[in-house]
Each structure stands twice: as structure tokens, then as C-alpha cells.
Amino acid sequence: MLLLLYTLNFVGINYALSGERSNENTSFSIATNGQLFPWNNLRLPSWILPVHYDLLIHPNLTSLTFMGSVKIEVTVVHETSAIVLHSKHMEITSAAIEEETGKTQADLKQLQVLEYPFHEQIAFLSTEPLLVDKKYFLSINYIANLSDGFYGFYKSTYKTKDGQTRLLASTHFEPTSARMAFPCFDEPSFKANYTIKIRRDGQHIALSNMPKVKTLHLDTNLFEDHFAESVKMSTYLVAFIVSDFQSVSGTTSSGIKVSVYATPEKLNQAHYALEAAIKILEFYEQYFDIYYPLPKQDLVAVPDFQSGAMENWGLTTYRETSLLYDPETSSASDKLWVTMVIGHELAHQWFGNLVTMEWWNDIWLNEGFARYMEFISVDATYPELQVNDYLLGTCFAAMGRDSMNSSRPISSKAENPTQIKEMFDTVSYDKGACILHMLRNFLTEEVFQNGIIHYLKKHSYRNAKNNDLWNSLANTCSEEDFTSGKFCFSKGQVAKNAYRYYVDEHFDIAEIMNTWTLQKGIPLIIVEQNKKRIKIRQERFLKGIFPHEPQWSSMQIGFLWHVPLTYITSHSKSIGKHLLKNHSDTVELEEDISWIKFNVDMNGYYIVHYEGNGWDTIIKLLNENYTLFSYKDRANLIHNAFQLVSAGRLSLDRALDLTRYLQHESSNIVLLQGVGYLQVIYHMMERRNISDVTENLKHYILQHFKLVIDSQTWSDEGSVSDRMLRSHLLELACDLEYLPCVQKANEIFRKWMISGGNLTNVPSDVMETVYSVGSKTADGWNFLLERYKVSMSGAEQSKICSALASCKDDAKLTRLLELAMEGHTIKTQDLPSVIYSVSTNPAGQQLAWRFVKKNWSKMLEKFPLGSFSMRSIIVGATAQFSSKQELEEVKLFFESVKEEVSQLRAPHTAVENIEKNIKWLERNLVTLRKWILENL
């Protein structure tokens, strides 16, 4: 960037910076016309505040452009002659301002427009100062192109059954893309009301956040829809869509109209989402004790969509696979996914929309809560989905990310759009959900629920920070509670309640929780048991960096958590609790014990290591009577053991010994957890071509789990948990070339292929396995690709894509990658998942990485740098590497694109991941080889 450090005098601008100018950047900003831009900070000045937007949008789906006009009512806080707001890729055709008393065109004062694209800002300059506490109306006319990507006001397409391509236009503004659709104060704290009008032709409908109140017929085929004024909200929640979609509708018990919109030919897949949305919306109204504040809630399946879904207030938008459910092609896991995504987006109507984080550094207040409320809402409305079992996996994923040095604190600094986009990650979502789960168990369900109700009521239609949440949880009493005599908790009562088992402790919720949100990482709790005396100490848990290495000590400095520990023992009749505030402590029990297990049901966010003979005792107990521990405790023990192997704390043979009892395991969740680790190790050996270990491990898995594999039926019968186990085990068995599995899959595939894909008797839970086996022949692969092109089910297309990526033919894998890059047959939105699927295939890992390097520039044109898509491409394409040569290749590539990726965490994560894999192999290969030979 070229900085022009000379001073330009501009008559008529009153800078009125009043301390707003950035301390870090004292240079001047120069507008595109060479004049001095009156602001040099990424964040907008707060001297002008928006009150109301009157917005008119007219898209042209033929020319792929749109015209817009917006009238923004603003209040002046500091006298100024410059209004600075956001604008990106728009041409401003005119701008004028009038005072609140202005009634005629003569009162409009034309404004000069300056642009500063580097900060995505524009300034409107007035010849007269705008006075404090006065209302003004800023009128702007502009034109722009519909965006070609997935942000702003963008074009989307879909194909009908007879091959016609239809166009629509939809919005996605979070986090910083409302400025691509209309000039605005595009920061979450600048909340305002919106009145939206949309022009469209006769064959289309228009949707926005609020219900339509009237339609004007302007011309032969031109209509203007007027929508009711919105509630006060942030710019990133504004939404509008022009399409030919159709809908199914229903009404909640409180009178909210709920509608699910989809392309006409997929409308039959919208019914389950409608049922789920009504149930979950009704649940949230009860749980939060706050009625949903809008008269309607639309859920729209958008054919081109980068993320999973978006919570625009009253108009939530979804990727088709996150909303549509086809009983013939959607598996049990697809149904669970759709239900949870709906639960997530509807939770946002309160967490995020009603109460919004003040700035993006605390995006976890939106996303962590919405991720956690998925589990609470779906458990309450669809208990048969057994959703709480999958919270374990969410926390395991968060721990995997958080045990890397390249992790970050939940609450982290984020200023520019790239840094802000990178905040939408595992840490904000999954770790956020898991520390809330820990807090809920610590405070009790009653206190937790009362606290979040208090938080939502106190900060409704406003913005909040971390501490606002902690204060609400520490004191759930509001003015209304005192006057109405409702039950609530004062700060003292909360302490008493939470510490029914924490004798004589005093605590401060903010002090405890800041150790989880303001520092990165995860604690390792080291337990040393001696009869009734339990010594505990905490360290920072790091994978791939061992205690004997020189950098380990420096990475421990300054890390200390307040850990709400829970434990059970050989003699306990209830759950023991202890708040660990220091690096070490001692728990004195009432009597001698033979064993202790910390982190009961994995309700805490920490790893536990049992020193001395602690692990030997646990392994013995599992072999003798595994039901001593709950199924969540068993999954937690397996997870901890393998994590400790990666940290150099436990030998691999001990972790593998712990899994030996699994052939008797009755819990599907625990079985999947244990088999999952063996599968990961198997694939690592296969990719590195360590053939003796690969073959022996394959035989061990098939021998050890033969009974449970053979007992699986090729059907969609049983509970959700049974069905998900079936999907996973049969996929694994066929992947391991288990003959009965391969033969059965081939038999089903051949019948399906002979019927021209018309038979509907491929059970959805085994569909991906059947397709993957079928894709191994040239005819099968080509047939699947043709089927992909005509399928009207996103769930089926997703399974076909995974199957196509599992073949061993280089030419076909290359073709698949190229089709995803072109974006016609396979949509661009699916490119990251195609790259990842190919990279996990041993035959495709080098191919996928070469493809990423070759097409890097093209990918950056399709996906913004900090986006989830680019992060998953960077980390996904390299995640399987485990050699020093691959490490050097990856480092060299990131060095060659250093200027582009310098702000990103993802390359550091990718490199650290490969280093971890290399160390794992160096440390464990000999042990693994020996253990398998001994146990075959």
C-alpha cells in the first residue's frame, strides 16, 4: 500500500474526531480522487448514529445488476461536516441531505462523495456543519452488480428437472457485507429500524425480514412489494430475496406464521423442516420467557450458499442440505443435521438478533450460545434423536483445535474483514458451546436458565460484551422480578446454589470464566492417587509438543485456569466437586479408594491424566465391568487416552489396551469413538504405505469387531444411534475390503444401476457405502456422475460426491476436482468439501494438494481469504500429511503466498498439524507394529 504522507487542505470539513482517530495509524487516508479522506480508522466514527433506513432495491436478473436508493435517518452526536459510512463495489450516483423539517426538493442539499476503498468506506461532505442532537435524512442513489460469490446481494442459480437454468438473487451480509448491497453503518452496534421495498417482475416473489404489507403494480410486468417496518437490528441481519420459490406454511401456538421456501421441484422436501421449526420456535419462547418478536419466520433453502445457514431476523437462509429432508435419500445423520441447524438459527433470533455482541471479538456470544442451544432445544423437542450424545463430539473437536499452539482465545482481537471472518471457527462455535455446558453444570440448570433469561431481557435490542453475560448469570434478579415477586437469584444465592458441594468456597463467575475466554488452550489435569489423598495439578495441554522439548516450558508460562472439577470414586455415592484455582492442590477424601475418575460425563472442558498406575487400574476395570462408568465417561476415557498419546504423556500400547474391551461395548457412541481412533491410525499407515502395519491393523479391526460388523443390517431400521453406527461400521468394513460387505454393496449397486437409478430400495443409511463401492469401476463412477446431474436431492448429491472422491483412479479424481472448480455440474459451494474428500483418499492426497497450489489464485476469486471455505481448503488439503518432505512443500508454498496469508491462522494450523503427525509416527510406529502382532 502506498501512503501519501502530504497534507491536503479541504475547506468545509470539520473533522470532529474527538478522540476517535486510531492511535495505531496516525497517517492520513487519501480518497480515490486524491483528496484527504476525513477518517483513517477501520472502525467508523460514532459522531453520527443511524436511526432508520428506508431502502428500495430493484434487481435485474437478466443484466445481473441492481439499482438502489436509501434514505437514512441519522442523529448527530458531534458537530461535523462529514458523514462516514461503509460502501463496497457500489457506484454512488447522487447523495443529498435534508433536515427533519425539510418538506420540498429545494431543501435537499447535494453532498460531495469521497471513497476510500481500502477501508470499504465512503464520506459525504456537507458545505455546512451538521448540528448536534438534530435529525437529518441522508438520501443516496446507487447502482451495483449482483455479487458473483456468496456475500452481499448475490446471484444464485438452480436447474429444473428438464435442465432449464433459473436465476434468483439472495443476500448474505454477515459479517461485513451489507455494505455490498446498500451504503450503511455496517457494524453490529449501529442498530436501526428498516423499511424495505423491493421491485420484481411478475413471475418472481420477494421476501424480506418482515411480512409484506402491500404490492404496487408499476408497469406491465413490474411490481413493488412493501414490507413492514422492522424491529431495531444490526445491518448484518437485514435480508431480501427475489426468486420463483414456493412455500409450505404453518402457525405456532403463539400465532407466528412459519414458512419454508424452496425451488418448486424440491418443495416436497420442506415438510420436515416446517414441523421442526414450529416445534423449536415454540420451545424457545418458553425457555427464554420472551415471545419471538416478529410476526413471521421464513426458512429459505438457497441453491448457492457458502456456510450452513444464516440467521437473518425473520428470514433465515440455508444451504439446501441444511434444510431439506427427503425420506428416500436423507439418512439418520442428515435428519439430525437438519434439525440441529434449524435449532441453531432459531436460537440466534434471541442470541445474536435480540441481543447482539458489541463487536466481532465476542462473536462467540452469538455462535457459542446458538451451538449450545442446538443441543438443549433438539433434546427437548426431538428426544428420539438422542442429540446430547453428540455434544461429546463437539467438545472433542474443540479440544483438538484448542490443544494446538496456533489456537486463539475465544474472545480475540479482530479488526479488518479478513480477521473478522476468521473468528467464525471451531473456537467460537464448539469451544464456546462446551464452556457454556461446563458452566451450566457448575451453576445448575435452574440458575443457568434464569441467568440467560435475565441477560436477554436486560440487553434486548442492544449490544452486549462478555462481562454482561457473567453479570447476568451472577445475578438473575431484575427490577420486574422484585416488583412482581417472581423467584430469582441474587449474587449471594447463586454462589450458595452452585456450591452445594463446594464447601466454604467464594467465587466470582467473571473471574472464573475469563480464564476460559481470555486465554487460549485447554488445561491438562494430572491426578496422583494415594489412598484417600488425591494430588492434582494443572498444565496447559499441548499436542505434538512434549515436556522434554525446549519450547515446552515457555509455552506454559502465564497459563492458569479456574477449573470446576467433578469426580467419582470406587466408594462415592454422589459426584464430588472441587474448584481448582491454583497450579496444584490436594483433595482429601473421607476414606481410602481403589480408583477415581475425573470429569464426570465429560461435563468439563479439560483433559485428565492419571499418573502412576491410574491408567492400568482403569483398563482393568473396563475389562472386568465396563458398566462401572457411564457411557459418556467411557467415551471420555478413550478420548483422553489417545490425546495423551499425542502429547507424549501415555504410551500408545496403553491407549490401545484400553480399547480391547470394546468388542463387548453396548453403547454405539463409545464404540464409534474407539473404532474411530483405530480407523484414523489405519488410514495414516495406508497413506504412508507402511504395508505390513496397514495389513495387520486391517485384520485386527475386522477380527476384533467382526461380531458387531456382521450383525449390521442393510436397512434404515432402528434408533438414530443404531442407524448412525450402521452407516459408519459398514463404510469402514467395505473400506477395509471385508468381502461380505463389498459383495453386498456391489449387489445392491448393480440392481440400482440396472434400474437406471429408479429403484428406491437403496437404504439411505447405507447409500454412501453402496455408492462408494460402486464407484470403484469405470461404469459405476460414470453412472454416479450422471445420476448426480439429475438428482433433485442435495442429500443424495452429497453422498454421490463422497463416493466419486473415493475411487482410486487419478484421472477421475482430477476430473472431479475440475468439475467442482468450474462450478456448473458441481456447485462452487461444494469445492472445499470435494478437495477435502479427495485429500482423505490415499490415492488422492497429493493430487488434491497439487490442485490447490495450481488453482490458488482462482480459489481466492471464489472465496474470501478469511472465509470458512478457504480455511477448510488450506487445512483440509494438508491434514493427512505426515512426512518431512510434505512439511517442507507446504511451508514453501505458504512462504510463496506470504503476502496473501500473512493475516491468517489457517496456514499455521496446517503446518502444526503436519508436525504433530510426523512426531506421532516417529514416536509410536515401533510400538504400534509390536502391539498389533501381539494382539492379532
**Catalytic residue ranges:** 345
Proportion of the chain in helix, strand, coil states, percent, rounded to 5:
45, 20, 35
Return all residues near 781 (Cβ < 8 A) that are at least 6 apart: 775, 804, 807, 809, 812
Burial group, residue 711, by CB count within 10 angstroms (0-12, 13-18, 19+): exposed
Cα–Cα dist 378/381, whole Å? 5
Provide the CB-side half-sphere exposure for 612 (13 A, CA). 13
Cα–Cα dist 775/10, whole Å? 68
| One-letter amino acid of 366 | N
The cell for 530 is 494415594
Cα–Cα dist 438/837, whole Å? 33
Return all residues near 374 (Cβ < 8 A) that are at least 6 apart: 340, 341, 343, 344, 347, 387, 433
653 close to 681: Cβ distance less than 8 angstroms: no
Handedness of CA 303, 308, 312, 315 (dihedral sign): positive
493 close to 473: Cβ distance less than 8 angstroms: no
**Binding residue per annotation — 437?**
no
Cα–Cα dist 698/693, whole Å? 8
Task: Give first-to-last CA distance, the chain, whole Å.
Answer: 63
Cα–Cα dist 864/590, whole Å? 59
Q: Which long-range contacts (CB under 8 A, 24 or more apart) does 584-587 make?
A: 584/535, 584/536, 584/537, 584/538, 585/535, 585/536, 585/537, 586/533, 586/534, 586/535, 586/536, 587/533, 587/534, 587/536
Other beta carbons within 10 Å of 622: 23
The cell for 689 is 504405505
Cα–Cα dist 394/340, whole Å? 12
The cell for 110 is 447535494
Q: DSSP letters of 155-203?
A: EEEEE-TTS-EEEEEEEE-TTTTGGGTS-B--STT--BEEEEEEEEETT
Strand spans (E) along 470-547:
523-530, 533-540
**Binding residue per annotation — 86?**
no
Strand partners, 609: 526
Distances (CA, A) of 106 to 93, 97, 110, 847: 19, 11, 10, 66
**Binding residue per annotation — 344?**
yes
The cell for 150 is 456468496
The cell for 180 is 455490498
The DSSP H or E segment spanning 288 is helix 271-288
Cα–Cα dist 60/767, whole Å? 41
Q: Is 738 helix (H, G, I), strand (E, B) or coil?
A: coil
Return all residues near 624 (Cβ < 8 A) that are at least 6 apart: none
Return all residues near 368 (Cβ < 8 A) that are at least 6 apart: 410, 428, 429, 431, 432, 433, 435, 436
Q: Which of 669, 734, 936, 869 is nearest to 150 (CA)?
A: 869
Summary count for the chain: helices (H), strands (E): 32, 31
Provide the CB-side half-sphere exposure for 518 (13 A, CA). 13
The cell for 114 is 469521497
Cα–Cα dist 618/610, whole Å? 9
User: Which positions make up the binding site?
Assistant: 344, 348, 367
User: Which positions make up the binding site for Zn(2+)?
Assistant: 344, 348, 367
